[in-house]
Amino acid sequence: MSSEDKPLPLVLSLVNVGADEERYLRSLLALLRTYLEPSWCIAARLGDLPDAVLVDMDSKEGNQVWENVNFGGTPRIALSRDQVLAAEWTLLKPIRPGGPHSLTEVLTAVARKLQLSAPASSTPTYNWRPFASMVSRACQQPYPSDVMLATGSALVVDPQGQVFYSSRTTDELTALLRNRRRIDGKVVDVPDARKLAVRLGRWGIRPRPLEELLWLKGLVTGAGESLGTWDPREPVRLKRWPNFASLPHRQVHLKMAAILRDHGSLASELAVACEVATGDAADFLNACAEIGILETRAAPVSNAQLTRKIQ
């Protein structure tokens, strides 16, 4: 590989870090250059655009910077003698090359968040839109796509393989999908999905069923209203039973599925039969529609039949 083909190291900016610790960090990063993938370097000057910021929290000045300075979404790492609960990553003093809260562990975690996939050559500019909108676009692409936020990659969708990759937990993804606020992000092409899967596997990020992501999106983005895939005035039913073994669900969803598996029902009727709000029934129908198991224009069933079905 020529020098032009080698990836550039990620840049770490230091805030309120002492001269001795800075020298030690520089020497340690030089020793770890061949071990860390990608490698890291210390910002040469304040004008450098960093990929992450390291803030020494063991001083009043460092705490003030942490609380008051906006780094534009750049990941922040706390440097301290004790773990900082307000920080996503804490690099503990004395700085160690390996082990928990070490330089290797922290920088690898930050790089994982920043670079789940290599940027495409025709990378579009960031746009402000809801996270769920970006996920929808990625799921509709015929090729693998990376949903990139200003802080790094959030998830990678592979529609052909019917899987997605993300280091975020189900609860974290749910919070992002539920949030209707417009955020800074974009959807970019993944150059080689096979190489990506291998690289993510080394980081412990395994493929997850795409159905799980679609189900979550339908369950939390409608805010109790139809997302447009079904008409509240028409009865619906299920083509098949949802795979609840792998899908996040509530106990009442089992009752709803039992009713809709064999009989058609309106969302309002389903809510009455299951003793929940109509919005809860609508969210369930949205989730079923997202994974393609909701059938519209189903034959309706009486309320008495619905009641008997769940007894």
- 311 residues of the chain, pLDDT tens digit each: 433 344 567 888 899 899 899 999 989 998 888 888 888 888 754 445 678 899 999 988 888 888 888 777 789 999 999 999 889 999 999 999 999 999 999 999 998 887 653 444 344 445 677 888 889 988 888 888 888 887 777 888 888 889 898 888 888 888 888 776 777 788 888 877 677 777 777 777 888 999 999 999 998 888 788 888 888 899 999 998 998 888 888 888 999 999 898 788 898 998 898 898 888 899 999 999 998 989 886 544 434 443 444 44
Closest Cα to residue 189, out of 114, 131, 112, 121? 121
Q: In degrees rounded to 5, what are phi and psi of residue 224?
A: 80, 10
Return the ∠ at Cα 277 (arms to 274 and 281), rounded to 5°: 65
Helix axes of 251-262 and 303-310: crossing angle, nearest 10 degrees? 130
Alpha helices in 86-127 (DSSP H): 103-114
Asked if residue 272 lies in contact with residue 303, where contact means CB atoms within 8 angstroms, the answer is yes
For the record, the structure tokens of 141 come out as 């692409």
Q: Which three-class secondary structure state does DSSP give residue 199?
A: helix
Asked if residue 196 lies in contact with residue 144, where contact means CB atoms within 8 angstroms, the answer is yes
Its CATH architecture, for the domain 10-114, is 3-Layer(aba) Sandwich (3.40)
Q: What is the pLDDT of residue 299?
A: 47
Q: What is the pLDDT of residue 211?
A: 92
Helix axes of 210-221 and 278-290: crossing angle, nearest 10 degrees? 150
Q: What is the pLDDT of residue 119?
A: 44
Number of H helices, E strands in the chain: 11, 13
The predicted model scores a pTM of 0.55
Q: What is the pLDDT of residue 168?
A: 82
Closest Cα to residue 246, out of 175, 168, 163? 163
Q: What is the pLDDT of residue 196?
A: 73
Q: What is the pLDDT of residue 55?
A: 94
Q: What is the pLDDT of residue 93?
A: 94
